[in-house]
Amino acid sequence: MASVDQIQRSASETDKASSANDITSNSSSASASTPPEKSTALNDLIYPADSYTQGDHVYWGDLPLGRRLAWTGKQSNEEAARELAHVGRMFKRDPLSPISAYFSNYVVTGMGLFVEGYVLFSVGNLTPLFKAVWPECWKNHQVCSPGWTAAVDYLEIVGIIVGQILVGIQGDWVGRKFGMVQDALIMTLGSIMLTAMWGTTLQGWVICYALSLFIYGIGVGGEYPMTSTRAMEAAANGGAGDRLHRGRRVALAFLMQGWGQLANQVVLILALLVTHNTLDAPFNKVSTQWTFRIQFAVIILPTLYLAYLRYYKLRYNDTLSQAKKRLNTSGYDIKSLKLASSHYWHRMVGTAFVWFANDVAFYGAKIFSGVFIATINGGTATLGETWLWNLVNIGVSLIGYYMGALFIDHKMYGRKWMQANGLIAIFICYIISGAVYPQLTQPGMGVHWFQAIYFLSSFFTQFGPNTTSFLLAAEVYPASIRATAHGVSAATGKLGALLAAVAFNYISNRDKFYLTAPFAVAAWILTLICVPDVTGLDLREQERYWAKVMEGKASEYHGVAVCPRHLSLWERVVLKRHRAYDPEEDAKDKKRELQALYESADGEEVDKAPLSDEEKAFLRNDLGGFFATEAKLNKPLQGGGEAHESKLADLEKRLS
């Protein structure tokens, strides 16, 4: 069965070769007097067509603005046309195969975020129902301690923070598979506890509820670094598939969180209709018990099945083990963590604080949703109205998720500008809401404007920092500490959620907007200064650079990881790391590395390498021949290299 990976890479040798040639066929040359160089297999490895112009071999990030716009636009359009054509061929062979490919590549990868989104956001959905049925506990606090009812939210967030840091470290220490299977099992246990929670008193039940959410939260927290790194590294050695679609792969896995929220809201509505016959009050205790227990129980088997899939079915890239082998590290890479703390501290400030600020806005909006819905309903809202409007808001958010996946890999927009533009849009929405709050909450046109602004903020949260922070927190760090760095950034973000949960209890509705807006603009500034734009950058280049950093020879790396296009403003202006960038020297370095690889992978070592028989023969014979004589080095292979196009793409992946 065809997979989306095939869509991302090469549908056929003809598609790939024509796409590579057409991308630059009409682009102007940097040196018009220099005739185009004949394509060779070696040049295809050193100057891949998705990143370099053909003929003069100029990296896309080095092109003048006008030419860069034309080149990237043409490449993007032709890649989209190639993918759509391949989807069309899949549909003709089997109409369900594109859907099957989407599920196997993205839905399964993001299923952990689906189940955590389902449970995590159910807490906010259930609270209004609990307040209506047990006001003496949840509203008036006559029989329940207000500290324990508040702890339902706090302990959930604390559990998430623990999981993000703990499992992030485990993911880099023991491995991605261990962390992912462990997360699924912990969430299964938590789901069972939430379904069966009980107490001899209401206070005891609330305590059991809070502790169950803490356990579940540990699994939820681990999902963040594990899903991000696994989704990203699944294509990390995939050559063009990595460079062109890495962000989309992560974003489509991450948006499963939104589908989880939608599924939970639908299940809650259906469960209450079945047990209570209506969404209107008064609610009885029996139907409420059935409603919340059913919606927790529904997710138990899918979560347990997720553990099965992760242990027995999913394939895991060996990016981590390769990185440790290059760095001569066994166990946890403490050396890289210490060095990254000084070498990349500014990136950590960017990824962590942006996530913090985003969660102040994101979770603040969730907390504020009841007030918003009551406002647009004339000052009051029933539980049914609240849940139905929440469905609409989730739908708007899902549009933002998918728009983010669509644009996140475009070289002229990408992650950094999506994050920056999303943050400034959120700032504008919130500062307007705070400034004219009395007018926006008036019946009539004011409420309609308030509704539009609120939905716009939800859209730009997903078509912006909520999606990009999930990707960048792993993408801008080396593989051996990637999960740890992501976990630390995500845990910092949850402190923002905790701030919103606490602060929003003590300030007015209008001041909630004034509190959130400055965080958004501060995160926007830090994005521009501290966050690098790694759109289109091969992750292996970051590993090549990091290997030199670990050796204390960072200045000897001349590749695109230090191209000004892929460095933050701080790294360019203050640290001046772009000064080491030298494309010609880097090409020589790559050539020497390939020759060393060929010489070290001779004989028995080639036989042991994870390559097909055809690829082993290609490595021994064709690639070796390049280093035999300069004449053969520049001799094009069968039809200008097109006959080896698909093999080269896969070989490029495996040789890393």
Residue (of 293, 320, 379, 289) closest to 172 by Cα position: 320
- Domain check: are 330 and 370 in the same one? yes
- Domain check: are 83 and 15 in the same one? yes
Q: Is the dihedral of CA 343, 346, 347, 352 positive or negative?
A: positive
pLDDT digits 0-9 by tens, 292-325: 999 999 999 999 999 999 999 888 877 787 778 7
Place of tokens 């939608």: 262
Measured in degrees and rounded to the nearest 5, phi and psi for residue 38 equal -65, 140
| Residue 544 included in any domain | no
Q: What is the model's pLDDT at position 400?
A: 95
Q: What is the model's pLDDT at position 522?
A: 92
Classify residue 32 by burial, with Cβ atoms within 10 Å: 0-12, 13-18, 19+: exposed
Q: How confident is the model at residue 237 (pLDDT cuts 50, 70, 90)?
A: low
Whether the CB-CB separation of 437 and 454 falls below 8 Å is answered with no
pLDDT digits 0-9 by tens, 402-438: 999 999 999 999 999 999 999 999 999 999 989 998 8
- Domain check: are 490 and 365 in the same one? yes
Give the CATH number of the domain where residue 475 resides: 1.20.1250.20
Whether the CB-CB separation of 215 and 380 falls below 8 Å is answered with no
Q: What is the model's pLDDT at position 379?
A: 67
CA-to-CA distance for 54 and 39, rounded, in angstroms? 8
| Residue 536 included in any domain | no
CA-to-CA distance for 166 and 182, rounded, in angstroms? 11
pLDDT higher for 548 or 241?
Answer: 548
Q: What is the model's pLDDT at position 637?
A: 43
Domain termination residue (choose one: 73, 103, 133): 103
CA-CA-CA-CA dihedral for 106, 109, 113, 114, to nearest 10: 60
**Sequence-ordered list of residues with C-beta below 8 angstroms from that of 485, at least 6 positions apart, any chain:** 168, 340, 348, 351, 473, 474, 477
| Residue 556 included in any domain | no
Q: What is the model's pLDDT at position 14?
A: 35
- Domain check: are 120 and 97 in the same one? no
Q: What is the model's pLDDT at position 374?
A: 77
Q: How confident is the model at residue 652 (pLDDT cuts 50, 70, 90)?
A: low
Classify residue 127 by burial, with Cβ atoms within 10 Å: 0-12, 13-18, 19+: middle
| Weakest-pLDDT range from 179-183, 250-254, 652-656 | 652-656
Q: What is the model's pLDDT at position 617?
A: 54
- Domain check: are 366 and 409 in the same one? yes
- Domain check: are 44 and 191 in the same one? no
| Residue 535 included in any domain | no
Q: What is the model's pLDDT at position 650?
A: 55
pLDDT higher for 31 or 240?
Answer: 240
| Residue 550 included in any domain | no
- Domain check: are 208 and 283 in the same one? yes
Mean pLDDT of 206-220: 94
| Weakest-pLDDT range from 9-18, 305-314, 492-501 | 9-18
Answer yes or no: is pLDDT of 608 > 80.
no
Whether the CB-CB separation of 218 and 162 falls below 8 Å is answered with yes
Q: How confident is the model at residue 32 (pLDDT cuts 50, 70, 90)?
A: very low
Q: How confident is the model at residue 622 (pLDDT cuts 50, 70, 90)?
A: low
- Domain check: are 99 and 130 in the same one? no
Q: What is the model's pLDDT at position 285?
A: 92
Mean pLDDT taken over the chain: 83
Domain termination residue (choose one: 60, 87, 103): 103
Mean pLDDT of 608-628: 53
Q: What is the model's pLDDT at position 645?
A: 44
Q: How confident is the model at residue 8 (pLDDT cuts 50, 70, 90)?
A: very low
Mean pLDDT of 126-136: 91
| Residue 448 included in any domain | yes
Answer yes or no: is pLDDT of 639 > 50.
no
Range of the domain at 405: 108-530
pLDDT digits 0-9 by tens, 571-600: 999 999 999 999 999 999 988 877 776 666
pTM metric for this prediction? 0.84
Mean pLDDT of 331-354: 92
Answer yes or no: is pLDDT of 607 > 80.
no
Answer yes or no: is pLDDT of 239 > 60.
yes
Q: How confident is the model at residue 240 (pLDDT cuts 50, 70, 90)?
A: confident
- Domain check: are 114 and 75 in the same one? no
Q: What is the model's pLDDT at position 325?
A: 79
- Domain check: are 85 and 141 in the same one? no
| Residue 538 included in any domain | no
Answer yes or no: is pLDDT of 31 > 50.
no
| Residue 568 included in any domain | yes
- Domain check: are 98 and 112 in the same one? no
- Domain check: are 84 and 112 in the same one? no
Q: What is the model's pLDDT at position 563?
A: 97
Number of independent structural domains in the chain? 3
Q: Helix, strand or coil for residue 52?
A: strand
pLDDT digits 0-9 by tens, 188-208: 999 999 999 998 999 999 999
Domain termination residue (choose one: 44, 79, 103): 103
% of the chain beyond a pLDDT of 70 = 84
pLDDT higher for 27 or 80?
Answer: 80
**Sequence-ordered list of residues with C-beta below 8 angstroms from that of 212, at least 6 positions apart, any chain:** 190, 193, 194, 197
